[in-house]
Chain A
Amino acid sequence: MDNGKRQSVTVRVQINGETREAAVESRTLLAYFIRDTLGLTGTHVGCDTTSCGACTVLLDGVPVKSCTVLAVQAHGHQLETVEGLEQDGKLHPLQQAFWDNHGLQCGFCTPGMLMTALALVRQEPLADEETIRRAISGNLCRCTGYMNIVKAIRQAGRTVAQTQEV
């Protein structure tokens, strides 16, 4: 395609419960749509090749690596990012557990890790260690060695399970 005539398309998403709409080049990747167009910079880009998971967001509740999804593919869909975790000034149990258990160091992989973990604890809050490790195996962390992340997800899962029982 000629560079001068890139097609602009309107993308409308519901992100963290809010409807947002913007016109972008059709080739715009979801990660950059979220970061640059919508200004939500909590979602990070670490590799651009679906390898590291720093850009993980939930698309209709399912974790996707937003660096390899086109923004247009999210048109009309629900997105959740790290910015939506805290509700009414209260940290999500996952955020609290990551803080309590030293589940982060540099913090760059953390938003993606939290979103992958969110999908897991919703589905299987009492997942065992093996299941947790498998679930987060697409999210690379170079700082923590994962042990405290696993511990944090287990703690958060227990909190979520208790809340569900109530």
Chain B
Amino acid sequence: MAVEATEAQPLGKAVKRKEDPRLIRGQGRYLDDIVLPNMLYMALVRSPYAHARIRGIDVEEALKVPGVQAVLTGEDLAQMNLHWMPTLAGDKQMVLATGKVLFQYQEVAAVVADSRAAAEDAAQKVQVDYEPLPAVVDPFFALTPDAPILREDREEKSNHIWHWEVGDKEATDAALAGSPVRIKEVIRMPRVHPAPIEPCGCIADYQKATGKLTWYVTSQAPHAHRTVLAMVSGLPEHMIHVISPDVGGGFGNKVPVYPGYVCAVVLSLKLGRPVKWVETRTENIATTNFARDYHMTAEIGATEDGRVTALKVSTIADHGAFDAAADPTRFPAGLFSIVTGSYRFPVAFAEVDGVYTNKAPGGVAYRCSFRVTEASFLIERAMQTLALKLNMDPAELRRRNFIQPDEFPYQSALGWTYDSGNYESTLNKALALVDYDRLRQEQKERRERGELVGIGLSTFTEIVGAGPSHTFDILGIKMFDSCEIRVHPTGKVIARLGTRHQGQGHETTFAQIIAHELGLTASDVLIEEGDTDTAPYGLGTYASRSTPTAGGAAALAARRIRQKAQQIAAHLLEMAPEDVEWDGSQFVAKGLPSRRVSMAEVALAAYTNVPPGMEPGLEATYYYDPPNLTFPNGAYVAVVSIDRGTGQVRVERFVAVDDCGTVINPMVVEGQVHGGLTEGFGIAFMQEIAFDEDGNCLAPNFMEYLVPTALETPRWETDRTETPSPHHPIGAKGVGESPNVGSPAAFVNAVVDALSPYGVTNVDIPMFPWKIWEILKTHGLAL
């Protein structure tokens, strides 16, 4: 039951969200709601071709459109050396094309006008003379000698970007060769797009008189964006003020810096007026960073009784025209090395090769901690193939291979130290909830009646909370996060963090952490994020990192406040500080429980009556560099039936038991799980950004790119186990992406389970009805 934010001891309670009162009134302030005096609007001219040489650009007619102020081309930017910009992945990306375009809808020119409509009108009138070139769409073809070289700017005359590998190849090959049971499965995660309902956009407002640039932007990482902008533009960083207002969903889409942002900034600098740019839906889906596009091959070795002996994975990663992945710098394939999952693989080896094609650049971590979705999908799918090969129940196979509770901290074969987990108890809870044994019996009976019924499992382990500075940085900046707390004289609090929520509920959950530590209620604590002039530096919100990093900072900053408060409390009680203790809500004299001081009383004293020699005030800042990542996990069970007439898969039940350590707010956690499962469902059944052979994007809008509506979305059954993280200040782990990471494999495993009696071991996602119907037809199952 949801409780009000005035509840005492709020940690772990379903406190109603503090952000909701403005959002349910339509009083949120999203980027496009902001209107500044003298503001101009920008529209982009985009390439109709996936690969073409630009022979010339004629802007004359566009400049004649009433209200048009300027047109910017790649050649204009080249004069400022701004026609290329660095990507977070260490590659570079064209801002406005010069010479060649490399993907359909690529940015070619920017038009700025008095109104949005005039800018769009004028964009239509920019004439670009293209010479079409053959498009490279298939990443495997891109690696062949026949493929044209796409990136003429690079010294390497190849479409191969990088090779990355981890693990012991020789030992893995040997273990595979010596294993009595082996499986090999080709597993593909197609290109998808996060597609938040609010598209990306910005307002660049450069004031010539002050030399200050205020940059309103839909950003999941405002501080990182400020630093990148300072590096790219040469503007001094203290003269850049980034404001990320209410953000209408992100899911990784709002981490990178996009060409439209740079154009808006350049135009504002040039014209001395605010310039607004807001994407259309097509621009959002077809040009801002995609996710996945991993083409993977998995091999597992095992003993005859189902104990895994080795895992080998090779992957082709299609990055499109520019490697614009938003990964920590030292991880070109993100945290893909979590691919050994929840299982005790004695040896493993994984390799990934990045490839250029004529597609939009990427990829981002779409509700995912950097390629963890791909890794989890691979291992959970491959375990299903192994179970089929062994003719073993998939739950039993998992039990035989789980890392055991007493093995934590567990050193994985690919180098991670898992913090905590109790995988078997989480699985058992899920199996009990779904009544697994009875389900299997029912499945048998229904199969005898000719029904196609499947049960799919996924028992994933995630890796979130990047991250510890010894391993994680973005362009050299360490991936800590921060919290600054100010306690006002009346005992009310403002706290600011380096993260930026987009619906995750930080205004409530971080208030709960701080209030709990300070003996206050969540309503006493105002949380602010997204303003770089006021918030301490942090790397932002993505990859389920906010609670593991900034959440830790919030607790530790509050404890710093409490340390000072204890001195003040002792002063008020006229006792020595060591004779005063914190009872969880107030300071109490040891052995004299009636003598107590509240945090509000201490706060007042901090400004009116501090002990002699003490600095007045009650504030603290904490930059939290986590000692390790956190490893949330879960056990999911999908039950599906397949319509033999249409190929339509019906999800009859879906049980999700998540373990994200200490739960701050069960209502918010459940909401995150519902949302993530729904995106996982979309990825399994509907969402794909496909291309034709000429590189035309076949899903550039919500009519072609199908995201789940209320009609298709299954009813989720959720529960949890709580295995705290031993190293996090309050034992919490991340959770937002777990359901999106863990669920796709459960859906596919269920469909494969339904079809496995007929020899099917794999179905490619998304599992569109037509695709399933083709399989049914091939196996004589279609009605």
Q: Which residues of A contact B (CB under 8 A)?
A: 3-4, 25, 27, 32, 35-36, 40-49, 51-52, 54, 81-83, 85-86, 91, 95, 98-102, 104-111, 114, 132-134, 136-150
Contacts and interface: CB of A to CB of B under 8 A. Distances in A.
B703 A140 contact: no
Nearest to B281: A47
A101 B674 CA distance: 13
B476 to A, nearest CB: 31
Contact of A145 (B25, B30, B678, B711): B678
Nearest to B739: A145
Contacts of B526: none
Given A3-B65, A52-B281, A102-B2, A46 B20 contact: no
A95 B25 contact: yes
Given A51-B703, A140-B702, A148-B671, A104 B66 contact: no
Nearest to B676: A145
B26 A81 contact: yes
30 contacts: A3-B66, A25-B117, A41-B30, A44-B248, A46-B197, A47-B281, A47-B702, A49-B701, A51-B701, A51-B703, A52-B702, A83-B25, A102-B2, A102-B17, A102-B670, A102-B671, A104-B503, A106-B248, A106-B250, A107-B24, A107-B248, A109-B197, A110-B23, A134-B711, A137-B709, A140-B709, A142-B194, A145-B675, A145-B713, A146-B674
B27 interface: yes
A54 B284 CA distance: 16
A39 B19 CA distance: 22
B198 A106 contact: yes
Contact of B26 (A82, A106, A142, A143): A82
Contact of A108 (B194, B248, B505, B670): B248
Interface in B24-41: 24-30, 32-33, 35
A43 B26 contact: yes
A77 to B, nearest CB: 20
A137 to B, nearest CB: 5
B25 A85 contact: yes
Contact of B196 (A101, A102, A142, A148): A142
B247 interface: yes
Given A52-B281, A105-B503, A106-B198, A142 B23 contact: no
B199 A46 contact: yes
B747 to A, nearest CB: 14
Contacts of B675: 105, 142-145
Given A104-B23, A144-B671, A99 B17 contact: yes
A6 to B, nearest CB: 8
Contacts of A52: 197, 281, 702
Nearest to B681: A145
Most chain A CB neighbours (cut-off 10 Å) among B2, B668, B702: B702
Given A4-B66, A137-B710, A107 B503 contact: yes
A149 B710 contact: yes
Contacts of B118: 3
Given A99-B17, A99-B24, A106 B503 contact: yes
A30 B446 CA distance: 53
Contacts of A4: 66
Give the dominant DSSP class at B's interface.
loop
Contact of A114 (B17, B24, B280, B676): B24
Given A54-B198, A106-B247, A145-B677, 14 more contacts: A25-B117, A46-B199, A46-B248, A51-B702, A52-B281, A52-B702, A54-B197, A86-B25, A102-B667, A106-B502, A108-B248, A114-B24, A142-B249, A148-B674
B238 interface: no
B505 A105 contact: yes
Contacts of B247: 106
A87 B748 CA distance: 48
A106 B676 CA distance: 14
Contacts of B655: none
| 3 cross-chain pairs, A with B, having the tightest CB-CB distances, nearest first | A42-B26, A108-B248, A106-B503
Contacts of B2: 100-102
Interface string B643-677: 00000000000000000000000011011001111
B337 to A, nearest CB: 29
Nearest to A129: B715
Contacts of A105: 249, 503-505, 671, 675
A46 B249 CA distance: 11
Interface in B285-325: none
B348 interface: no
Contacts of A148: 671, 674
Nearest to B249: A106
B37 to A, nearest CB: 14
A84 to B, nearest CB: 9
A6 B676 CA distance: 46
Interface in B572-600: none
B703 A83 contact: no
A123 to B, nearest CB: 17
A41 B711 contact: no
B10 to A, nearest CB: 16
Interface in B135-149: none
B625 interface: no
Contacts of B505: 105
A122 B195 CA distance: 32
A1 B161 CA distance: 48
B707 interface: yes
B688 interface: no
Nearest to B668: A102
Nearest to A135: B710
A40 B33 CA distance: 9
B107 interface: no
Interface string B218-257: 0000000000000000000000000000111111000000
A42 B17 contact: no
B188 interface: no
Nearest to A138: B709
A143 B671 CA distance: 8
Given A41-B26, A105-B503, A49 B702 contact: yes
B684 to A, nearest CB: 14
Contacts of A45: 32
B26 A111 contact: yes
A78 B503 CA distance: 32
